[in-house]
Amino acid sequence: MARRTKRITIPSDDPNNRDTGKTFLLTEMDAEQAEDWGIRALLALTAAGAEIPDDFEGAGMAGIAAMGVQALQSLKYDDVKPLWQQMFECVQICPDPRNLQLARALVPDDIEEISTRLMLRKEIVELHVNFSRLASLSKSELSETGPLAAGVITRTFPATSPQ
C-alpha cells in the first residue's frame, strides 16, 4: 500500500502573507524512519521529565504530542531541532500552480512565513496520526471503546523521507 499524501495550498485570507497560493505536497514517512523519529522524540521527552502514560504504546503521535505539551518547558533545543528539521523532509513544493503533479524538494526561500511553517507542521502531524478518521467517529464510539481500542490512532510517527 502506498504512503498517504496530502496537498496543502496556503489560503489567501491574509493579503500580506508572502506564501499565499503556494501549494505543498506532504508525504507520509516510511515505517523505519517513522519508528526512528518516534524513538528519538520519546527519548527527548522522557529526558525532559515527561511521564509516559500507561496506554502510550498505542497512542502513536498523539501520545507524543501530549507528552510534548507536558515537557515543553524542559525540552532542550538541541534535542528538538533535529526532530523539527526532519519533519520537513516529508514536505515538497509544487512550484507550478497549473501543474500540481510536479513537486520538488524545498529550498530555503520556498517558505517565507513562520505561520506557513507552523501550518505545515500541524498538517504533517495530522497526516501521520490520521486525525480525520478519529474525528469521523461518533463521541459514543470513542467513549465506549476509546480511540486506542478502536484502532483509530496509528502506530506511526513522523520521520524523514527516503534519501
pLDDT tens track for 109-133: 999 999 999 999 989 988 887 644 4
**For residues 10 and 20, is the Cβ–Cβ distance under 8 A?**
yes
Asked whether residue 22 is assigned to any structural domain, the reply reads yes
The residue among 39 and 71 whose pLDDT is bigger is 39
Within a domain: 160: no
Averaged over 123-149, what is the pLDDT?
54
**pLDDT (mean) for 69-78:** 73
User: Does residue 104 contact residue 95 with C-beta atoms inside 8 Å?
Assistant: yes
Q: Which of 158, 163, 137, 162 is nearest to 42 (CA)?
A: 158
Residue 156 has pLDDT above 70, yes or no: no
Give the cell for residue 11.
489560503
155, part of any domain: no
Binned at pLDDT 50, 70 and 90, residue 70 comes out as low
The pLDDT of residue 19 is above 70: yes
Does residue 122 fall inside a structural domain?
yes
Say which residue the cell 523539527 belongs to: 84
Question: CA 29, CA 99: separation in Å to the nearest integer?
Answer: 24
Which one of 39-43, 82-86, 132-136, 155-159 scores highest in mean pLDDT? 82-86
Parent domain of 107: 5-149
Domain presence at residue 161? no
Q: 10 Å Cβ neighbour count for 161? A: 18
| Residue 162 domain flag | no
Helices (DSSP H) in the chain: which residue ranges? 31-47, 60-71, 77-87, 114-129, 131-136, 139-149
Q: How many domains does the chain have?
A: 1
Residue 50 placed within a domain: yes
Residue 59's pLDDT is 58
With contact defined as beta carbons under 8 Å apart, do 133 and 152 qualify? yes
3-class secondary-structure state, position 75 = coil
Per-chain mean pLDDT for the chain: 76
Q: Please report the pLDDT score of residue 65 as a whole number.
A: 62
Sheet (strand 104-105) strand order: 5-9, 23-27, 91-94, 104-105
Which region among 84-98, 122-136, 141-155 has the lowest average model confidence (pLDDT)? Answer: 141-155
